[in-house]
Amino acid sequence: MKENKRLKLTTIQSLTHYGVVIFLSFIVALTGWSLIEIYVTGTYSGVRSGGDLVKVSLPFLILAITFAFIQYRRLRFKEFGLTYSEEEFQDAIQRTVNDLGWRVENNSETFFRAVRPWNWTGSWGEMVTIIKDKDRLLINSICDPDHFSSAASYGWNRKNINTFLKNLNDVLRNQPEEIRIEESVNESSSRRILIRLVAYPFCIFLIILGVDMILEPLTIRTALSGIGAVTVATIYLYSDIKLLSERMKKKSPNR
**What pLDDT, on the 0 to 100 scale, is given for residue 148?**
74
Rounded to the nearest 5 degrees, what angle is found at the Cα of 147, between the Cα atoms of 228 and 4?
105
Q: What is the mean pLDDT of each run of 10 residues along the chain (255 residues)?
A: 92 91 85 83 76 83 92 95 93 95 94 86 82 92 86 85 96 82 49 74 82 69 74 76 66 53
Q: Which residues pair with 80 in a beta bridge?
A: 137
**What pLDDT, on the 0 to 100 scale, is given for residue 102?**
95
List, for residues 69-91, the tens digit of each pLDDT value: 999 999 999 999 989 999 999 99
Phi and psi angles of residue 213, each rounded to the nearest 5 degrees, phi first = -70, -30
List, for residues 3-12, the tens digit of each pLDDT value: 899 999 999 9
CA 201 to chain centre: 19
Question: What is the C-alpha separation between 23 and 29, in angstroms, rounded?
Answer: 10
Contact 228, 27 (CB under 8 A): yes
**What pLDDT, on the 0 to 100 scale, is given for residue 196?**
74
Question: Nearest CA to 153 among 210, 249, 145, 89?
Answer: 145
Contact 92, 164 (CB under 8 A): yes
Contact 114, 173 (CB under 8 A): no
Neighbour count for residue 55 (Cβ, 10 Å): 12
Contact 67, 151 (CB under 8 A): yes
In the chain, domain spans: 1-76, 77-172, 186-248
Contact 86, 109 (CB under 8 A): yes
**CA distances (Å), 47 to each of 52, 53, 193, 219, 253, in order?**
10, 10, 39, 8, 56
DSSP state of 18: T
**What pLDDT, on the 0 to 100 scale, is given for residue 243?**
65
Q: Residue 39 carries which side chain, given as an amino acid letter? A: Y
Q: Strand 103-107 vs strand 126-133: parallel, antiparallel, or unpaired?
A: unpaired
In this structure, whether the domain defined by 77-172 belongs to CATH 3.40.50.300 is answered with no
